[in-house]
Amino acid sequence: MQVTRILAVRHGETAWNRDTRIQGHTDIELNEHGRWQATRLADALRDEPIDACHASDLLRALETAQAVARTRGQNVTTHTGLRERCFGRFEGHTWAELEHRFPEESLAWRKRVPDFAPTGGESLLQLEARVVSTVQEIAARHPGEQILMVAHGGVLDILYRAATRLGLQAPRSWELTNTAINRLLWSPEGLSLVGWADAGHLQSEHGKTTLDERHA
């Protein structure tokens, strides 16, 4: 049985990441540091066999994927199913603002209540269903190949949980670093984890590691 190898990557940094503002489906471009991260990612993957490049259609993910694709003369295929979780009225706010304005909803988010959805947004259950089905659909097109998949923190969190069979409410202990390289295998039986959070190409970066959705 042929498997699909997946290089799963979170987009580079944006101004809203730096300001700790919730992005969700709000379309924010990379900042200067994010573009540097994307360039370093492209350099790190230069000698990797990549048969196809896929990305969320949101600009921060697309720009990151294009930095890799350009070095290889490839195009990027976009998928709305790889978008970040929609946070509805949470988007544009910092965590401190959310705790002040929507304390009950913020508590439900912090506790990772699976069926909780911010007003106008998605629940974790909805996000999980969307992401898993999208990744399965994409990976099934590439048996025996290796593909790049650039998405968002919430998407990468779902993929890690799916690959390690962890529930949605399990505390997070893994990193979701911007442009770190995460390696997964997909077969019709599901996802499995090969390697996670390889950020060696960002050795000169001194930013904090993101462990939750506050920078999504």
CA-CA distance, 1 to 132, in Å (whole number)? 20
Helix or strand holding residue 5 (H, E): strand 4-10
Catalytic residue among 11, 54, 142, 152: 11
Residue type, 211: L
Helix or strand holding residue 129 (H, E): helix 124-140
Is 13 designated active site? no
Helix or strand holding residue 100 (H, E): helix 95-101
Tell me which residue of 134, 40, 146 sits closest to 85, measured CA to CA: 134
Is 213 designated active site? no
Tell me which residue of 62, 78, 51 sits closest to 141, measured CA to CA: 51
Residue type, 118: P
Tell me how long the chain is.
216
Catalytic residue among 63, 84, 105, 122: 84
CA of 206: how far to CAs of 106, 177, 196, in Å? 29, 12, 19
CA of 24: how far to CAs of 65, 113, 216, in Å? 18, 18, 6
CA-CA distance, 1 to 62, in Å (whole number)? 31
Catalytic positions, written as ranges: 11, 84
